[in-house]
Amino acid sequence: MSLSLSRRRAFLLALEIGTPILVVVLWYALSANSTSFYFPPLSRMLDSFKDNWLFARFSSDVIPSLVRLILGYVISVAVAVPFGVLLGLSPTARRATSPIVEFLRAIPAPALIPFGIVVMGIGNTMKIFIIVMVCVWPIMLNTIDGIRAVDPQLIDTAKAYRTGTWDRLRYVILPAAMPQIFAGMRTSLSLAVILMVISEMVASTNGIGYFVLQSQRTFAIPDMWSGIILLGLLGFGLNVLFGIFESRALAWHRGARSAAR
């Protein structure tokens, strides 16, 4: 029983790793003789990938993109969590701000790019601003919901033992809301990548998004593809990193959930 279970697990793992490899091999083989201008052979894309990203353009395009992405994301978290906690705790503050929050959240961030360019130019500030304008909302709204959903019994317990307001927030309310805060952070991470690319395509002098658009404009199609592949890998890698971070920080949550089943 346990042997067949571990076998099944090994099989699933092999499937998880094997399938993408198979797809790439097939793509490589089937595209080898491609003469299409728009869909060059994978081998040519990989050559461009090597020429561009290992590591000729790494510091000129990848680093600036990563800086925008990380700064925008970190600022979003740093702004959204405290505000979310405040709004989650105070029904009055929630009422007062909810129309504003809903309005700001409804503005499609790319619509702010023209404003950003006029006020902040086409440098990093504008791009980080655009990323923050999008990424704060999922984190903030999830934080509000997470704080509101904290089991009142836990809060009563803390109160009964006369835990001070700050300790109650720090050791009881915040940890209890953490799973949902993380859910918001995960959503925002993908959004940050999207907004980084968009802002670089509209107005920039470097960055991966800029590179993809420039390559297309100069008909350097394999280069363009290499940029797209890099963005896919970047998003995938960030998600994996986030997953590792989350499973460390919320180990108790996973354990408690599987114990409840």
Partner 1 sequence: MLLEVTGLNKTYGQGPGATEAVHNLTFGVQESEFACIVGPSGCGKTTLLRCLAGLLPATRGEVTLRGQRVDRTPDDMALVFQEYSRSLFPWMTVRENVAFPLKRKKHSKAKVKELVDRSLTAVRLDQFADHYPWQLSGGMQQRVAIARALAYEPAILLMDEPFASLDAQTRADLEDLTLQLRTEFGVTIVFVTHDIDEAVYLADRVIALTQRPTQVQEILDIPLPRQRDQLTTKELPEFTQLRAHVYRLIKRPDEVSGRQQPSALTRA
- Does 252 participate in binding partner 1 (rule CB under 8 A)? yes
Residue 108 structure tokens? 């499609």
**Contacts with partner 1: how many residues (CB under 8 A)?**
23
In the numeric block, the tokens 């702010």 are attached to 112
Q: What's the sign of the alpha-carbon dihedral 124, 68, 53, 32?
A: negative
What does DSSP assign to residue 62?
A: I
Which residue's CB is nearer to partner 1, number 51 or number 156? 156
User: Cβ of residue 85: shortest distance to partner 1, in angstroms?
Assistant: 17
In the numeric block, the tokens 């086409």 are attached to 122
User: Cβ of residue 243: shortest distance to partner 1, in angstroms?
Assistant: 19
- Does 121 participate in binding partner 1 (rule CB under 8 A)? no
CA angle, 240 as apex, 130 and 190 as ends, to 5°? 20
Residue 145 structure tokens? 């919901």
User: Cβ of residue 136: shortest distance to partner 1, in angstroms?
Assistant: 25
Give the Cα separation of 199 and 111 in Å (integer): 11
- Does 42 participate in binding partner 1 (rule CB under 8 A)? no
- Does 248 participate in binding partner 1 (rule CB under 8 A)? no
Q: Is 144 helix (H, G, I), strand (E, B) or coil?
A: helix
| Helix locations, 90-173, DSSP H | 91-106, 113-120, 124-148, 152-160, 165-167
Return the range that interacts with partner 1 (CB under 8 A); candidates 121-129, 184-192, 197-205, 251-259.
251-259
- Does 92 participate in binding partner 1 (rule CB under 8 A)? no
Give the Cα separation of 132 and 195 in Å (integer): 9
Site string for partner 1, 152-181 (x = CB under 8 A): -xx-xx-xxxxxx--x---xx--xx-x---
Which residue's CB is nearer to partner 1, number 36 or number 258? 258
Which residue's CB is nearer to partner 1, number 99 or number 164? 164
Which residue's CB is nearer to partner 1, number 45 or number 185? 185
Which residue's CB is nearer to partner 1, number 21 or number 259? 259
Residue 246 structure tokens? 């989350």
Question: What's the start-to-end Cα distance of the chain, in Å?
Answer: 21
Tell me which residues touch partner 1 (CB under 8 A): 151, 153-154, 156-157, 159-164, 167, 171-172, 175-176, 178, 252-253, 255-256, 259-260
